[in-house]
Structure 1
Amino acid sequence: MKRMAWIGLALVTGCGAERAPVVPAVVKPPVKVARCVLKFPDRRAGAAARARLERDLARYAADRPGRIVYGALDLASGIRLGHGEHDHELITASGAKVDIVAALLQRRTGRLDEEELDLATRMIKESDNRAADALWSRVGGSGAMSAFYRKAGLRETTPGPGIYWGGTKSSPADRIRLLKVLVKGVKGVKGLSAADRRLVLGLMGQVMREQAWGVSAAARRGDRVALKNGWTPRPFIHNTWAVTSYGRILGPGRDLLLSVQTDQQPGHGAGVQTIERLARMIGTRLDDLSPTIERPCPTNPIP
């Protein structure tokens, strides 16, 4: 019996000597504290970048044939650029087709009927001239277009004479003004509703691929483009061409309205090349014109 007791005691003692399992402590990850940074505009660097861009644009345009004028406005930053932007002696050719549908919508004070919508779609997306002829007549011709331009504040745009809508003359500044009307509306112009403006910009954003050249060269990857181009031979002006492009380039931190107009070009291709080179220079260097300086937030702010 004594031997059994000792064995039992040994077993009890052995169990009591066993250590309790250790539970690991929960280690919390370190808390990340965001660094406080203040940003200020670097006006000196922006002015220097602007001077370099304007110099390079001028040098390129000076080496190209014919007349070249352009205007740019970034609604996001307020930056403006331009050369000859108030020159209103250059014809828009098919660029006037946007004017026609905008004026018709304003006069209708409501939606276009099915036939008119089809004509407007073909006129903008495909640059259909017969559709433009039909809507130019429905809107009321040059007289009605003059009234629309006055209401919209387009003081540097003159409608083509008679039935010749392609002879409409305008300036880059007025092309940008028209784009602003489509983007933001304008006081005093009743009938051109937000839905109407979205319709026009939507059609400009669906221009067929082979006609989507021009100011679209200013777009970054992922930007949305709405544009209208114009091109026509000028047989009575030394067999040259007029080539124009204007539109909106919209993307993160950018809402760029851009118009480039050329005249007396040796051919359609030469005008396109000039427009796209100028547009690309502006698009790729626009952000350089509004640089910022970073400074840490004060550690002991004044109460």
Structure 2
Amino acid sequence: MWVAGAGLALVAACGAERAPVVPVAVRAPVKVARCVLKFPDVRAGSAARARLLRDLSRYVSGRPGRVVFAAHDLVTGVTLGQGAHDHDMITASGAKVDILAALLANRTGGLDEGEHDLATRMITESDNGAADALWSRAGLGGAMSAFYGRVGLRETTPGPSRFWGGTTTSPADRIRLLKVLIRGGGGLSRADRRLVLGLMERVQKDQAWGVSAAARPGDRVALKNGWTPRPFIQNTWAVTSYGRVVGPGRDLLLSVQTDRQPGEGTGIETIEGVARMIGARLDALTPTTTRPCPAKPVL
């Protein structure tokens, strides 16, 4: 009996033993990328543009004095403007970029050390004495007129005699000047254009107001501003700003010019209001929509 019981126990023990587990290779589920196509949403873009122009018009009409502007994005081709061809707007210190560009266009060997120092102070610090010196070296109004003709600035007139600050222009011509500095023309070499735009990027902080309000965090800004009292026009001010704002998906050229402002601060506030609105809503003007790829592409 003992032997039989031991045999039963042995059999029971053998029956309870588990078979060895053999690992089985299991493939992870494969994620199939969804094929979609992007298309410009022309209708939504047109509606966004109409809303922006309406809001800009309302904003400008509620501000004092005259306010005109022009914008062009080199990446998307978007253009905006109100009074863009009004060509009697005083540039004040905005003409300092013109002076440097004209001087460089008429030189084959570039600037000497003294002129380079004058140019740096004229653009980055808006030094009027430096502008006086380089205006004379550029050839005064006659030479400036010739330069404007070469680069296609037909709505810009140089100030009389030695008064470079009396140069008048339009927002559209400020955009044209920026395009020349970016793409070339009028005898300006790549090094010349890099110099001018580089100085415009280094404008000292207290003068970097204006169209810079259109910039997003991380965007690069190159600009030049102008401001001057107009004692013979009811003691008002002319305040202007134009420049380039570059960042991901954007290369925005913008010019906002004001006149008959009750003060410099009011003009700056108006310019930044226009710039901020354009900068914040620019992407909405070129929206896209997505559609799934066709199952059987047509060949």
TM normalised by structure 2 equals 0.91
Residue 48 (structure 2) pairs with residue 52 (structure 1): no
Residue 223 (structure 2) pairs with residue 227 (structure 1): yes
Q: Given the superposition, is the C-alpha separation of residues 21 and 178 from structure 1 closer, same or farther in structure 2, using an over 3 Å criterion?
A: same
Structure 2 matches for 1:251-290, cutoff 5 A? 251-290=247-286
Deviations 1:166-221 (A, max 9, x none): 000000000000000001112xx22x111110111010001000000000000011
* Unmatched segments (≥5 aa) in structure 1: 1-16
Name the structure 2 match of 1:208: 204
Name the structure 2 match of 1:236: 232
Deviation at 1:28, TM superposition (A): 5.3
Deviation at 1:37, TM superposition (A): 1.2
Q: Given the superposition, is the C-alpha separation of residues 196 and 299 from structure 1 closer, same or farther in structure 2, using an over 3 Å criterion?
A: same
Name the structure 2 match of 1:12: none
Deviations 1:37-94 (A, max 9, x none): 1111111111111111111100111111100000000000000000000001011000
Structure 2 matches for 1:1-303, cutoff 5 A? 24=23, 29-186=28-185, 189-190=186-187, 192-303=188-299
> Counterpart of 2:259 in structure 1: which amino acid?
D
* Unmatched segments (≥5 aa) in structure 2: 1-16
Name the structure 2 match of 1:8: none
Deviations 1:229-276 (A, max 9, x none): 000000010000000000000000000000000000000000000000
Deviation at 1:29, TM superposition (A): 4.3
Where has structure 1 moved over 6 Å in runs of 4 or more?
Answer: none
Separation (CA, whole Å) in 1 of partners of 2:80 and 2:157: 23
Separation (CA, whole Å) in 2 of partners of 1:28 and 1:211: 63
- Give the alignment's Cα RMSD to 1 decimal: 1.7
Q: Given the superposition, is the C-alpha separation of residues 203 and 21 from structure 1 closer, same or farther in structure 2, using an over 3 Å criterion?
A: same
Separation (CA, whole Å) in 2 of partners of 1:233 and 1:34: 62
Separation (CA, whole Å) in 2 of partners of 1:110 and 1:21: 85
Tell me the secondary structure at the aligned position of residue 282 of structure 2: helix
Deviation at 1:32, TM superposition (A): 3.6
The aligned length equals 284
Q: Given the superposition, is the C-alpha separation of residues 105 and 302 from structure 1 closer, same or farther in structure 2, using an over 3 Å criterion?
A: same
Tell me the secondary structure at the aligned position of residue 108 of structure 1: coil
Tell me the secondary structure at the aligned position of residue 96 of structure 1: helix
TM normalised by structure 1 equals 0.90
Tell me the secondary structure at the aligned position of residue 231 of structure 1: strand
